Structure 1
Amino acid sequence: MTLGPESNEFHESTQERSISKTNNRKAGSTSFRKKASSKILSGNQLEIIFRDRYFCVVNKPAGVPAQTQGKDQDILSLVSTATNIAKQKMHLVNRLDQPVGGLMIIAFSGGIHAAFENLRRNNGLAKIYLAVTSDVPQSQSGSLHNYLLRDGRLNKSSVVPEKTADSRSASLKWKKLDQTVGTDGKELALLAIKLETGRHHQIRVQLAAAGWPIWGDRKYGDNQNNIKRNIALLSYLLYFIHPVSGEKLELKLKPPEIYPFEIFSQTAWQALIDFDI
């Protein structure tokens, strides 16, 4: 197995991110803190939340593509510049749509990428997203099960009947953390979401089909005038087993200080503790 090199060159950020390392999450955890690396490139500050010789976890800025063809800048380009590791050696463990921000895992070798894929297949990798929705679910929690069909020409997916040709099953769990009124007087909800499958635009299309489109997501039915064209969906928390050491890692972001996330009560974020991952 070829392993990616570990660089000692870090650009320290004034902000820190909390990382919990546990042997049994239900029994509690001990915390340690690492300074996050950061580098400002083309107006985007890249935060490296965790890094060792095998992989890194970064906070992808909303609006930056995960991967592009040619010379266009993507998250791999930003990570390569910040770490001095060749872009060609990097592999995306999880992908985020261009308008979505948050945590992404970047493997530094094909072997580590394969190890993460094995973890995913054996439920060793959990991902929690936060979404602000236009319109509010009536119940406090639930699950969504649909069949999705992808239209590559339009770069869009839709909910279709079960036996539709080329459709794929999609499942997620959700919990309502809070609800409030936005600046336009409309009710908004803050949801925590756990993906059980990974389909094209899955969270966006399933929430829209349920009647709760993500704030700012005009592609899937929200008519909110969103100048920045980013949507209120965030890859917020990752919980996984280190593919080499076997340690259990829980990495998460601080509550975003941007609209519309910032209008929800601080106690709403504590409700994530009870969300079963």
Structure 2
Amino acid sequence: MDIKIIFEDKDILVVEKPPKIPCQGDKTSDDDLMSILDRPYLGLVHRLDRPVGGVMVYAKTEKANSFLSKEISARNLYKEYLVVVCGKPLETQGELRNHLKKLRTINMSKVVDDKTHGSKEAILQYSVLDTIDTEEYGALTLLKIILKTGRHHQIRVQLSHAGFPIWGDNKYNKTFVKKKEWTQISLWAYKIGFKHPNAKEYMSFTSLPYKEFPWNKFHINN
């Protein structure tokens, strides 16, 4: 499989992760992105859910891996997503703050009280970019998401809890949970920004979603 290389030097590798491919090897033993890229050393700096596509950065040295991991811990890694949701938020922009608890046995997360043991705060900001009306699904809205924290299934569970679940999400969107056929979730890692681990200059990279429904119903460009 050919993987789109967005940028590469001796310290980092920035690629476009295709949907449905895991970031690293898992219990399924399916082909994973790290194995396909096949570099002498690759450090997993951050993750994308298996169904999600978009821009990812890997570290090519242990030093770069350590630096970028510390940047993530300090919330200095900028992550922006595009998402198509069912319905339309009441406000054109806003912030969602919830506490999430991971349900390991079913590989899901849920919104819980902030005093719940094992819960973690989840923060994201959203902006409405466009809304269209469809015959089958009603209103569909294109959102820009700026992720402030990196929790398990964070965008998916927070948007669902807020009343505008992601189109195609067969875990958190009740419309698609009921569907027998598989659907591709319309969540895409659009932009990533960070300080280069060696040069220390700020860099950002983008990736656009594939031209398929529902993305092709919206005008999306860099």
- What is residue 68 of structure 2 aligned with on the other side? 116
Aligned counterparts, 1:175-186, within 5 A: 175-182=127-134, 184-186=136-138
Note the alpha carbon deviations across 1:24-82, whole angstroms, 9 max, x for none.
Answer: xxxxxxxxxxxxxxxxx1xxx410111111110111110001122475311101111xx
123 and 163 in structure 1: CA distance in 2 versus 1, 3 angstrom threshold: closer
Normalised to the residue count of structure 2, the TM-score between the two structures is: 0.92
Corresponding position: 1:72 with 2:26: no
Note the alpha carbon deviations across 1:212-255, whole angstroms, 9 max, x for none.
Answer: 11100020024245855320000000111111101221211235
Contact 2:157-2:172 at 8 Å conserved across structures: yes
226 and 101 in structure 1: CA distance in 2 versus 1, 3 angstrom threshold: farther
- What is residue 150 of structure 1 aligned with on the other side? 102
- What is residue 248 of structure 1 aligned with on the other side? 202
226 and 120 in structure 1: CA distance in 2 versus 1, 3 angstrom threshold: farther
Q: What letter matches 1:241 in structure 2? A: K
SS at match of 2:36: helix
Structure 1 unaligned runs (5+)? 1-40, 271-277
126 and 160 in structure 1: CA distance in 2 versus 1, 3 angstrom threshold: same
SS at match of 1:204: helix
Contact 1:176-1:192 at 8 Å conserved across structures: yes
SS at match of 2:105: coil
254 and 219 in structure 1: CA distance in 2 versus 1, 3 angstrom threshold: closer
Corresponding position: 1:196 with 2:148: yes
Residue correspondences, number: 219
Corresponding position: 1:46 with 2:3: yes
Work out the CA distance in 2 between the residues paired with 1:255 and 1:217: 16
- What is residue 102 of structure 1 aligned with on the other side? 54
125 and 244 in structure 1: CA distance in 2 versus 1, 3 angstrom threshold: same
- What is residue 30 of structure 1 aligned with on the other side? none
Work out the CA distance in 1 between the residues paired with 2:209 and 2:19: 15
Contact 1:119-1:243 at 8 Å conserved across structures: no
- Structure showing greater radius of gyration is 1
226 and 190 in structure 1: CA distance in 2 versus 1, 3 angstrom threshold: farther
Work out the CA distance in 1 between the residues paired with 2:216 and 2:180: 16
Q: CA RMSD in A?
A: 1.8
**Aligned-pair CA distance for 1:258:** 1.6
Q: What letter matches 1:229 in structure 2? A: T
Contact 1:216-1:226 at 8 Å conserved across structures: no
SS at match of 1:218: coil
Contact 2:81-2:189 at 8 Å conserved across structures: yes
Aligned counterparts, 1:217-228, within 5 A: 217-224=169-176, 225=179, 227-228=181-182
Q: What letter matches 1:65 in structure 2? A: P
**Identity across the alignment (%):** 37
- What is residue 125 of structure 2 aligned with on the other side? 173
Contact 2:95-2:125 at 8 Å conserved across structures: yes
SS at match of 1:173: strand
Following TM superposition, the consecutive aligned residue runs of length 4 or more in structure 1 with deviations greater than 6 angstroms are none
Work out the CA distance in 2 between the residues paired with 1:208 and 1:254: 23
